[in-house]
Structure 1
Amino acid sequence: MDKLYEKHLLKNIRHIPRHIAIIQDGNRRFAKEMGIDVASGHRLGAQTTEKVLDWAREIGVRHITLYCFSTENFKRSELELRELFDLFAEKAIAAASDERVHKNKIRIQMVGDRNIMPKDLIEKIERVEELTRNYTAFTINLAIAYGGRNEILCATKSILSSIHEGKIKPEEIDNKTIEENLYREINLPEVDLIIRTGNEKRTSNFLPWLANGNESAVYFCAPYWPLFRKIDLLRGVRLYDQRFSENHLP
C-alpha cells in the first residue's frame, strides 16, 4: 500500500523543490519509547538519513540541508556528545570512500561554526569536502554546530572586520555582502521547503536568512526521525508544490 500511495503522490506533484532543509527531530524520544539507549536512537536516525538522501536525489531535489547538531546541543551530556561526534566522524570517513558519492557526483559540505567542534572531527569532514568539492549533481549540507543567530553574529563580525581593514565601505553593504559572509565558499541556494519531524511545530532558528527570507514552505509531521518514510517526504514536497502553484497562478 505504501508503494501505491508513493506513486499516487508522485503522479500529482508537478514542482519539485530545489533545496529542502530538514530538522531531524525525535531520535532521543524514539529511543526512550523503544527502551534503547540514546546512541542507538541516533544510529537508527542516521540510517533514515541515508535513505532520505537517496529518495530526495531520485525525485530531483538538488540540495538538501540536514540539521544534525545545533549550538544548543552542546548542553547535552558528555557521553552523548562523544557518541554523536564519533557517529559524525564515522559517517564522514565512510562518505569519503563511498562509490555512490563519487559515481553520482554528490558534494558534501558543512555549515556551522568549525571553531567550536573537535579538531579531529573537522579534519575528517574537511577531507570529504575536499574530495567532493567539484561535484555539482547533488549537494548535501551538514548543519553541525549550527545556530541561525550565531551564523548572523559571525557574519556581522566578519563584515565589521572588513570595514575596519578598509576592504569595504558601510554604504557598499548589500544582500550579497551578507550572503558572502554567511556562507564562505559554500553554495547554498534559498530554501524552498523545511521539513521537521517529531511533531514539533517550530523551525528552531534554522537557516533564517535563506528560509525565512524566501518565505519557504514548512511541513511539520508526527513521525520521529527514525520512523520517517518516503511517503512523509513526498507529503512535504506536495505541500511545496501546492504553495508554488498558488503563488504562480496565471
Structure 2
Amino acid sequence: MIRGLIEHVYEYLISKQVTHIPQHIAIIQDGNRRYAKKKGLATASGHRAGADRTEEVLEWAQELGIRHITLYTFSTENFSRSDEEVQNLFTLFKEKLSRISIDERVHKYGIRIQMIGDRDMLPEDLRGAVEQAEAATAHYDNFYLNMALAYGGRNEMLRATSKILNDIKNNKIKKEDITPDLFEENLYGKNVTLPPVDLIIRTGNECRTSNFLPWLANGHESAVYFCAPYWPMFRKIDMLRAIRVYSERQDMKKKRNCRA
C-alpha cells in the first residue's frame, strides 16, 4: 500500500516535468521469457503476463493522449523459436485479437487496430483474427493500435522495393515517380495510418532497436529509451520516464531553433 502511494506521487511529479506528449510511441516488448524464468514459470506464462501488461499500457497511453502505439509483437526472427513456443504465441495473439471486436474500451475510445508485417507468413486462422479486428475497428480514428506481426525492418524495406520495381516493370510507374511518399505507401499500403515515430521504448535491459521501423524511426531521428524492467514488470513510472526523455529532447530542439 505504501509503495503504491509512493509510486503514485512519483508518477505525478514526473508528469509535471513533461511538456510534450509524443503522438507515436513504438515499443519493443522484451523480457517475457526471462521474466518467466525468474519467476519459475513456463515460457507461455511469461508471454501471457506480457500480454496482460500490454492491455494496461494501452490504457495509460489513452489516458496520456498518445494517439499511436506500435507494438513489436512478433518478429520474422521469432519464427526460429521452438514450434511449441511459436504456436503458443499465435494462440495467445488470436485469443486477444478475437476479444477486440467486443471490448467496450475499444469502441468507447475509438481505437483502430492495424497490422504491419508479412501477412503471408502467418497461419490462416491468425490472419483471419487480424482481419476481423481490423474490420471491426476500421471506422475509428481517435487512437491507433498497430501490431507488428511477422515483422522485420529489412524484410519490410525489401518488400517495398520489390513492389516498386514490379510496378516499374509493368509500366504502372516511372523511375522518376519514386519519392519518399511513394516508398512509404509501398511499405504499409494506402489503408494504413502510420505517422513518424516520436519515441521508441525497449524493455528488458537491451540497448538496441532491432531494426524496428527503420523508415519511420531512424529516418525521423526518434528519441529512444531503454529500461531494465522485463516487459511484464513495466510500470507507468517507466513509461512516464520515457516520455520525459522525449519531452526534454523537444525542449532542447526548441531552444536550438530559438538561438538560430
Q: Which of residues 237, 240, 244 in structure 2 aligns to 1:238?
A: 244
Q: What is the CA distance between 1:143 and its match in structure 2?
A: 0.4
- The aligned residue for residue 212 of structure 2 is 206
Q: Distance in 2 between matches of 1:215 and 1:165?
A: 35
Q: Distance in 1 between matches of 2:127 and 2:251?
A: 41
Question: One-letter code of the match for 1:158?
Answer: K
Q: Distance in 2 between matches of 1:204 and 1:142?
A: 16
Q: Distance in 1 between matches of 2:155 and 2:145?
A: 21
Q: How does 1:1-250 map to 2 (within 5 A)?
A: 1-184=6-189, 185-249=191-255, 250=258
Question: One-letter code of the match for 2:203?
Answer: T
What SS does structure 2 have at the residue aligned with 1:208? coil
Question: One-letter code of the match for 1:12?
Answer: Q
Q: What is the CA distance between 1:165 and its match in structure 2?
A: 1.2
4+ aligned runs moved over 6 Å, structure 1: none
Q: What is the CA distance between 1:103 and its match in structure 2?
A: 1.2
Question: One-letter code of the match for 1:20?
Answer: I
What SS does structure 1 have at the residue aligned with 2:216? helix
Identity of aligned residues (%): 60
- The aligned residue for residue 3 of structure 2 is none
Q: Distance in 2 between matches of 1:42 and 1:96?
A: 22
Q: Deviations over 1:113-141 (max 9, x none)?
A: 00011011001110110110110110000
Q: Deviations over 1:197-250 (max 9, x none)?
A: 000000000000000001000000000000000000000000000001101112
Q: What is the CA distance between 1:96 and its match in structure 2?
A: 1.2
Question: One-letter code of the match for 1:14?
Answer: T
Structure 1: gaps of 5 or more residues: none
Q: What is the CA distance between 1:33 and its match in structure 2?
A: 1.1
Question: One-letter code of the match for 1:74?
Answer: F
Q: CA RMSD in A?
A: 0.5
Q: Distance in 2 between matches of 1:20 and 1:80?
A: 27
Provide TM-score, normalisation by structure 2. Answer: 0.95
Q: What is the CA distance between 1:164 and its match in structure 2?
A: 1.1
Q: What is the CA distance between 1:76 and its match in structure 2?
A: 0.3
Structure 2: gaps of 5 or more residues: 1-5
Provide TM-score, normalisation by structure 1. Answer: 0.99
